[in-house]
Chains A and B, each alone.
Chain A
Amino acid sequence: MAELRLADYKTTVHNDWCPGCGDFGILNAIQMALSEMQIPRHKAVIFSGIGCSGKTPHFINVYGIHTLHGRVLPFAQGAKIANPDLEIIAVGGDGDGLGIGAGHFVGAGRKNVDIPYLIFNNAVYGLTKGQASPTLRLGEKTKSLVTPNTSNSVNPIALALVSGFTFIARSYSYDVKHLKDTIKRAITHKGLAFVDVLQPCPTYDDIHTREWYQGIDKQETGKAMPRIYKIEETGYDGTIKDESEINEKMTRILQFSSEWGNKIPVGIFYQNELIPSYHERIAENNKEYFAKPPSHQEISDNKNNPIAKIDKILDKLQIKD
Chain B
Amino acid sequence: MTSVNSISWLIGGPQGSGVDSAANIFAKTCAKEGFHIFGKREFYSNIKGEHSYFTIRISDKPVNSHLEEINVLVSFDAETVFRHADKVSAGGMIIYDSSLAETVLEEVPTIDFEASNRIRKLLQDSGQSVNLNGMLEFAKSRGCMVYGLPYFEMLETVAQKMNDPKLSKISRVVNVMAISASISLLGIKKDMLINAIQEVFGSKPKLLASNIEAAEYAYSYIGTKYDTKNIKYKITPKDALKDYLLLSGSQAAAIGKIVAGCRFQTYYPITPASDESEFLESNQIIDKVDGKSGSIVVVQTEDEIAAITMAIGASLTGVRTATATSGPGFSLMAEALGWAGMNEVPLVVTMYQRAGPSTGLPTRHEQSDLLFAINAGHGEFPKIVLASGDIEESFYDAIKAFNFAEIFQLPVIHLLDKAISSSIQTCKRFSNDLKIERGEFKNTIDKNQSEGAAGHFQRFKLDDSPISTRVPIGTENAIFWNTGDEHTEEGHISEDPENRNKMMDKRMKKLDVALEKINQDDMAICHDFDSDGNNVVVSWGSTKGAILEALEKLSEEGNKMKFVQIRLLHPFPTETVKKFLKDAKLVIDVEMNYTSQLGSLVQQNTGREIDYKIVKYNGRPISTTELYIALKAILSGNHERRIVLDGGT
A98 to chain B, nearest CB (A): 15
- Hey, what's the 0/1 contact readout for B188-205 against A, CB within 8 Å counting as 1? 000000010001000000
Asked if B309 contacts A313 (CB within 8 A), the reply is no
Chain A residues positioned under 8 Å from B484 (CB to CB): 50, 66-68
- Hey, what's the 0/1 contact readout for B457-472 against A, CB within 8 Å counting as 1? 0000000000000001
B320 contacts partner chain A, Cβ-Cβ < 8 Å: yes
Q: A47-B313, A104-B306, A319-B241 are in contact. Are A81 and B339 (CB under 8 A)?
A: no
B263 contacts partner chain A, Cβ-Cβ < 8 Å: yes
Contacts A65-B481, A297-B319, A299-B263 aside, 11 further interface pairs with beta carbons under 8 A come to: A68-B335, A75-B310, A78-B299, A110-B302, A289-B295, A289-B297, A299-B260, A305-B436, A310-B258, A321-B32, A321-B241
Asked if B436 contacts A304 (CB within 8 A), the reply is yes
Which residue of the partner chain, among A71, A79, A313, contacts B283 with CB atoms under 8 Å? A313
Which residue of the partner chain, among A81, A106, A285, A299, contacts B261 with CB atoms under 8 Å? A299
Chain B residues positioned under 8 Å from A298 (CB to CB): 294
Q: Which of B158-166, B424-432, B518-526, B620-628 is found at the contact surface with chain A?
A: B424-432
Interface positions, chain A 70-94, Cβ under 8 Å from B, are 71, 73-83, 85-86
Residues of A within 8 A of B (CB): 11-13, 40-43, 45, 47, 50, 55, 57-58, 61-68, 71, 73-83, 85-86, 103-104, 106-107, 110, 282, 285-286, 288-289, 292-295, 297-301, 303-314, 317-321
20 contacts between A and B (CB under 8 A): A42-B476, A47-B313, A58-B492, A63-B479, A64-B480, A64-B491, A65-B313, A68-B484, A71-B336, A74-B305, A75-B312, A77-B313, A82-B264, A106-B302, A294-B264, A295-B472, A299-B260, A306-B260, A308-B259, A320-B199
B75 contacts partner chain A, Cβ-Cβ < 8 Å: no
Asked if A321 contacts B305 (CB within 8 A), the reply is no
Q: A82-B264, A286-B295, A321-B32 are in contact. Are A307 and B481 (CB under 8 A)?
A: no
Interface size on B, residues (CB 8 A): 88
Asked if A63 contacts B474 (CB within 8 A), the reply is yes
Centre residue among B258, B284, B437, B474 by max chain A CB count within 10 A: B474
How many Å lie between the Cα of A317 and that of B482 in the bound state? 43
- Which secondary structure dominates chain A's binding surface? mixed
Which residue of the partner chain, among A66, A78, A309, contacts B312 with CB atoms under 8 Å? A78
Centre residue among A47, A73, A82, A86 by max chain B CB count within 10 A: A82
B279 to chain A, nearest CB (A): 9
Chain A residues positioned under 8 Å from B47 (CB to CB): none
Asked if A314 contacts B430 (CB within 8 A), the reply is yes
Chain B residues positioned under 8 Å from A317 (CB to CB): 245-247, 251
Which residue of the partner chain, among A64, A82, A110, A313, contacts B258 with CB atoms under 8 Å? A313
Asked if A68 contacts B309 (CB within 8 A), the reply is yes
A132 to chain B, nearest CB (A): 23
How many Å lie between the Cα of A317 and that of B306 in the bound state? 33
Asked if A79 contacts B492 (CB within 8 A), the reply is no
Asked if B314 contacts A82 (CB within 8 A), the reply is yes
B402 to chain A, nearest CB (A): 9
B255 contacts partner chain A, Cβ-Cβ < 8 Å: yes
- Which secondary structure dominates chain B's binding surface? mixed
Centre residue among B34, B293, B317 by max chain A CB count within 10 A: B317
How many Å lie between the Cα of A107 and that of B303 in the bound state? 9
Interface positions, chain B 315-336, Cβ under 8 Å from A, are 315-321, 335-336
B512 contacts partner chain A, Cβ-Cβ < 8 Å: no
Asked if A78 contacts B314 (CB within 8 A), the reply is yes
Chain B residues positioned under 8 Å from A306 (CB to CB): 259-261, 399, 432, 434-436
Asked if A63 contacts B436 (CB within 8 A), the reply is no
Chain A residues positioned under 8 Å from B199 (CB to CB): 320
Q: A76-B313, A82-B321, A107-B306 are in contact. Are A285 and B284 (CB under 8 A)?
A: yes
Q: A75-B313, A81-B299, A317-B245 are in contact. Are A308 and B336 (CB under 8 A)?
A: no
Which residue of the partner chain, among B31, B295, B433, B492, contacts A13 with CB atoms under 8 Å? B492
Which residue of the partner chain, among A43, A68, A312, contacts B339 with CB atoms under 8 Å? A68
Chain B residues positioned under 8 Å from A47 (CB to CB): 313
How many Å lie between the Cα of A298 and that of B441 in the bound state? 13
How many Å lie between the Cα of A11 and that of B429 in the bound state? 55
A293 to chain B, nearest CB (A): 8
Q: A58-B481, A63-B474 are in contact. Are A314 and B319 (CB under 8 A)?
A: no
Chain B residues positioned under 8 Å from A104 (CB to CB): 302, 305-306
Chain B residues positioned under 8 Å from A106 (CB to CB): 302
| 7 nearest CB pairs, A to B | A299-B261, A78-B313, A107-B302, A78-B310, A82-B314, A300-B436, A66-B483
Which residue of the partner chain, among A74, A110, A314, contacts B310 with CB atoms under 8 Å? A74
B266 contacts partner chain A, Cβ-Cβ < 8 Å: yes
Asked if A308 contacts B258 (CB within 8 A), the reply is yes
Chain B residues positioned under 8 Å from A110 (CB to CB): 302
Chain B residues positioned under 8 Å from A289 (CB to CB): 295, 297
Which residue from chain A places its CB closest to the CB of B297 in the assembled complex? Answer: A294
Chain A residues positioned under 8 Å from B315 (CB to CB): 78, 82
